[in-house]
Amino acid sequence: MEQPLLDIRALETQFFTDDGLARAVDGVSYSLAKGETVGVVGESGCGKSVTALSVLRLIPNPPGRIVGGEIVFEGTNLLDLSPAEMRRIRGNDISMIFQEPMTSLNPVFTIGNQIGEAVRLHQGLSTKEATNKAIEMLTLVGIPEPARRVHEYPHQLSGGMRQRAMIAMALSCNPKVLIADEPTTALDVTIEAQILDLMRNLQSELGTAVILITHDLGVVAEMARKVVVMYAGKVVEQAPVETIFAEPNHPYTQGLLNSLPNAELGAVSGGNKRRLQEIPGIVPSLLNLPQGCKFASRCPKAMAVCEEKEPPLEQVGADHLSACWLNH
């Protein structure tokens, strides 16, 4: 089998706070092949974004620290690299579109300056060449009048344009891996569809592999080939996208799918009309996690063993992994 482009193995990222130890990422493993899109889903606080920031080694220390596991990119463990070596990879080979473009873009620099910074740093272009590259990238992501927009500041662009500018910045060095963290949050449905179309087209054009972090299973159905479902810092299910929608194994994944309106599922499920269901309760605090299955207190199918022992992530079908005692 071909080696994965990026292989996250038993990753552990913890935050050492005044209130105690928070296990934000607790033994997470998943891989990404060349040109593949992996959707990472789960509720807020489940560890999706912290896993992504760990890949780029952007965890603020203190209070956060990667305490275990490996992040292997093209055969090299990124956790073994020096800060200078990591800087050469970050933004060049592995790029990230952050949440909230208004807070991620620097308000005092022009859009062109911010897009050009990465190519100046990694590809040694002059200021003029970097500006031309920024115009080329803004054209690529469909921003009108790019030669004018390149001299504008973030506040002068609409939300959808800022998001496109963030994508242009992330793709400016033609990365091998693009991490998109909630790339369509806070955008209206029309703009969301345009951004997803844009990402799909750029991926097929440039061959970039994508980790798509989202809580929106409708977006995952449209974009991903493989889905990783996370809950309370752990992977609870992993399978090809068709399997996740047709035969979800873990009660948490089933709950997520049952809480979606039919329209969200599109053609993937071909679902019948039914009443929406909610998942009762809330995600447990990372400072005070239960000892058994982290989902047990919210699970309608919980058994005594669920409260006592944590279920292992095991194979339940072809390319299908799930962590649930119901499989035993």
Same domain, yes or no, for 17 and 127?
no
Contacts 24+ apart (CB under 8 A), 194-199: 194/142, 194/160, 195/160, 195/163, 195/164, 195/167, 196/222, 196/223, 198/141, 198/142, 198/164, 198/167, 199/167, 199/223
Query: Where in the sequence is the domain holding 148, given as residue range(s)?
Result: 104-174
Could you tell me which residues are beta bridge partners of residue 235?
Answer: 230
In a domain, 194, yes or no: yes
Q: Which residues touch 19 (CB under 8 Å, ≥6 apart)? A: 287
Please tell me whether residues 119 and 234 are part of one structural domain: no
**Among 282, 300, 319, which residue terminates a domain?**
282
How many domains, the chain? Answer: 2
Which domain-ending residue is among 151, 174, 197? 174
Q: How far apart are the first and last CA of the chain?
A: 29
Statement to judge: residues 185 and 45 lie in one domain: yes
pLDDT surpassing 80 at residue 273: no
Same domain, 122 and 109: yes
What is the pLDDT at residue 189?
A: 84
pLDDT 10s digits, 244-256 = 999 999 999 999 9
Residue 140's pLDDT band, with cuts at 50, 70 and 90, is confident
User: In this model, does residue 268 exceed pLDDT 60?
Assistant: no
- 188 and 251: one domain? yes
Assessment of whether the complete model's pTM goes beyond 0.85: yes
Burial class, 225, CB count within 10 angstroms (exposed 0-12 / middle 13-18 / buried 19+) = middle
Confidence of residue 267 (pLDDT cuts 50, 70, 90): very low
Res 103 pLDDT > 90: no
71 and 181 inside one domain: yes
Categorize the per-residue pLDDT at 262 as very low, low, confident or very high, splitting at 50, 70 and 90: low
In a domain, 243, yes or no: yes
Domain check: are 62 and 189 in the same one? yes
Q: Which two tokens stand for residue 178?
A: 């693009």
Give the span between the Cα atoms of 249 and 201, in whole angstroms.
32
Residue 295 forms part of a structural domain: no
Which range is least confidently modeled, 148-157, 167-176, 184-193, 215-224?
184-193
Q: Which range has the worst mean pLDDT, 10-24, 38-52, 60-74, 160-174?
A: 160-174
The chain-wide mean pLDDT, for the chain, equals: 91
Assess whether 169 and 184 both reside in one domain.
Answer: no
Residue 105 to residue 115: CA distance in whole angstroms: 10
* 86 and 134 housed in the same domain: no
Which pLDDT score, from 0 to 100, does residue 266 have? 46
In a domain, 321, yes or no: no
Residues 116 and 210 in one domain: no
Closest C-alpha among 231, 308, 309, 209 to residue 27: 231
Q: What is the pLDDT of residues 150-168, one digit of tens each?
A: 999 999 999 889 988 998 9
pLDDT of residue 183: 85
The answer to whether position 250 is within a domain reads yes
Task: Please tell me whether residues 267 and 124 are part of one structural domain.
Answer: no
Do 273 and 181 have their domain in common?
yes
Report the pLDDT value the prediction gives residue 269, as an integer from 0 to 100: 47
Q: Which of 155, 97, 90, 159 is nearest to 118 (CA)?
A: 90
